[in-house]
Structure 1
């Protein structure tokens, strides 16, 4: 059976029963994404998106962070997806190298509100969408990603369409059309990293998933072999060296744990590009172990993958967005503050003289043992070497940074991340974490999602467009 067809049939027909472990993993990721939406809602990108949406004056059923009135589901997904990814604090799915939940969760939350779905239905669709994205990633990466495509959108849109088709209970033929339509909406270039466009990619992916599923449900058709066919996704956007869209890739759908468990999702410890996390974790571990202060350090050398070098394109960042994609800035901030927090990435922090003086001491190079064509199934790693003024040299390699599936945030750390993201918000927002954390138990999602409308105002009133 052709790849696209078999994928769609699984989306429509897979049993709606998952292990307690899979449900829990999905709930953790969704709660983490809500935290990122709350924290990100006041950032430039979502505020500008909200301003732009004012041109349409929509008053739909779906809630969006900071809006006192509802939006039609595609627009709510666009706004919440942009907010979820605005601070680069949201999760990562490997080997997709994508911010999967920043697309998946906003799409499903908006659509679930619109159709009055349950939390269990949403979690089921989320697990299916992540599984689809994992299959697509195994077919195309790392070739697709290292060519410069931002997989948060290129893989996020069709997998969100699959998830939305699942939530709407579309039959296989319509699910296939939804996935295929969304594949034609898949774009996004890594050139946009460090600009408003990067988080906007997540919003576009969420919006595209809903639109594609709704259009397919209305009978709109699309090509049945969009991934594997000539002049399709693989032919135009991947190239030689990838595994390709072979039905063998889909064997994971029939056996083994779902992707929410294996490989699992990386719920991030730091609000910056994931490519910095391994070297930063290594740096902080060395500093703690050897009692090093910033003043003790002459030089910091970091070795990372080719993909990471491509992502971290700002040696001298001029704004907080660029700072999230700057190895020198992240290491300098870690050296002086002992951590990277939300407050690390604002203009006041960026203008600190001590960070500007430390940044030239930080070097980043490609690790020759991590070539660009390294298989997507092989874990990356990061190495940090610290040279001190008195001649000492310390080095450490990190494979599983804090938050990575094999070194996951514990329950306390996840709850504290939510609380940190919701600091200063109304009580209803602050106290909503337990409900998000156990979202599968919600019989209706509208009351819970409506809490997002309180984001942004101490009195609980939402911002107006």
Structure 2
């Protein structure tokens, strides 16, 4: 048998099993609760999106034991189906949080799996929170193992890494030990899938839902004793080697012990963080995160330099080349494509259109003559010297002035109280019109007291659509 000390999958499983709520610093727990609130908000709003409706219709027609809540729906389904639907809803708006260690959206698939299985098991809020933190950590660490080639090669890391995170979270809720969790991660490696080619379409969200479902099922199969070869992540024909040339180079240059240690090390970035949740980034614009720095530049220049769209004669957006395959749709034809367009989102910002409002991404703005005119004046320039997502926006005005702003949206918020307030406002805005105010306020209270919930059902079932009154 392979030496477990050189088994990447087992090392990661052991790390997931070792995470205990009582050992997690209070500020990390605070970020985790904020992530839960944010996930619930984007999922409640995303439940009304077309892809979610279609998936609910399909899954309900397939049937199954009505054990788990479908957010924003009257229907209930088995945990795996609920994880798929709720995971899709959580990403349908592309408004969920981000971590560049994945790189992608770390919370969406992990929480979709954890909350669905937690509801089926009637788990406590503390157990669900612990499982979420473990799953989030595993998603980020697998992501770091195969970065950056995995993502640059065209894989949708939110979905691929999310499957591992969902498997780790579900394993914790099922009480699996390190050996069984290792099997769950191994099974997940055969199910982890997703392509960046889907960006700008409904399939991007669908991939996230399938990651949640795939990870949850992997853990349940591992619990039942389904076998899988040793170290499916680090195997010579395993996930890491087949999905990233970076991994093959690392293995060729380093000893197996070094590679195994690399799987569970903390980040090399300064400052050093103990948990990847500390580098979680929340969205305050409802578009691809790599458009956010450009939006912030445009908003700053409009505010401080009195830049008006009618006075713009040329506009340059300078970004890392990494953005080309992600958020550089030059002429978006749908509201969803607009979220992946640097030109469109910057034009919206300069014209005072609220990029924080999901409804602002609509057909009317796609065809807006002012937005189209600004898009024509805009040039996206690729600069390898810029970090992702550093951006420089330079605007030339009719009066001969040239104004410029640089912004980096990759830095996490230091003031967690300010972040909590901002996220609470975002949550309320997303839920308005979907749930009554009394439920919205009750969800907030329960999230911020999550560890005291005896049964997670108390929280999850508040998100269901109310039964229509006769």
| TM-score, normalization by structure 1 | 0.91
| Equivalent of 1:453 in 440, 464, 467 | 464
Preserved CA contact (<8 Å) 1:300 1:386 = yes
Structure 2 CA distance for partners of 1:400 and 1:426, relative to 1, 3 Å: closer
Q: CA deviation at 1:406?
A: 5.3
Number of the residue aligned with 2:276: 259
Number of the residue aligned with 1:36: 42
Structure 2 CA distance for partners of 1:253 and 1:388, relative to 1, 3 Å: closer
Any residues of structure 2 matched to 1:215-254 within 5 Å, and which? 215-240=221-246, 243=250, 246-252=259-265
* Residue 442 (str. 1) matches residue 453 (str. 2): yes
Structure 2 CA distance for partners of 1:243 and 1:434, relative to 1, 3 Å: farther
Number of the residue aligned with 1:416: 425
Number of the residue aligned with 1:314: 329
* Distance across 2 between alignment mates of 1:389 and 1:298: 6
Write the deviation string for residues 168-213 of structure 1: whole angstroms up to 9, x where unpaired: 1101111001011111111111000011100011101111111000
Preserved CA contact (<8 Å) 2:322 2:388 = no
* Distance across 1 between alignment mates of 2:244 and 2:428: 40
Number of the residue aligned with 2:380: 364
* Distance across 2 between alignment mates of 1:125 and 1:190: 28
* Residue 388 (str. 1) matches residue 397 (str. 2): yes
Q: CA deviation at 1:240?
A: 3.6
Q: CA deviation at 1:368?
A: 2.7
* Distance across 2 between alignment mates of 1:336 and 1:379: 25
Q: CA deviation at 1:82?
A: 0.6
Moved more, 331-340 or 288-297: 331-340
Number of the residue aligned with 1:88: 94
* Distance across 2 between alignment mates of 1:380 and 1:208: 30
Preserved CA contact (<8 Å) 1:400 1:407 = no
| Equivalent of 1:180 in 177, 182, 186 | 186
Preserved CA contact (<8 Å) 1:140 1:243 = no
Moved more, 427-436 or 78-87: 427-436
Moved more, 246-255 or 423-432: 246-255
Preserved CA contact (<8 Å) 1:422 1:429 = no
Q: CA deviation at 1:277?
A: 0.4
Number of the residue aligned with 1:373: none
Preserved CA contact (<8 Å) 2:36 2:111 = yes
Structure 2 CA distance for partners of 1:417 and 1:184, relative to 1, 3 Å: same
Write the deviation string for residues 34-71 of structure 1: whole angstroms up to 9, x where unpaired: 00001111111111111111221234221111321321
Number of the residue aligned with 2:220: 214
Any residues of structure 2 matched to 1:130-209 within 5 Å, and which? 130-209=136-215
| TM-score, normalization by structure 2 | 0.91
Preserved CA contact (<8 Å) 1:62 1:76 = yes
* Distance across 2 between alignment mates of 1:198 and 1:390: 43
Preserved CA contact (<8 Å) 2:110 2:169 = yes
* Distance across 2 between alignment mates of 1:316 and 1:14: 46
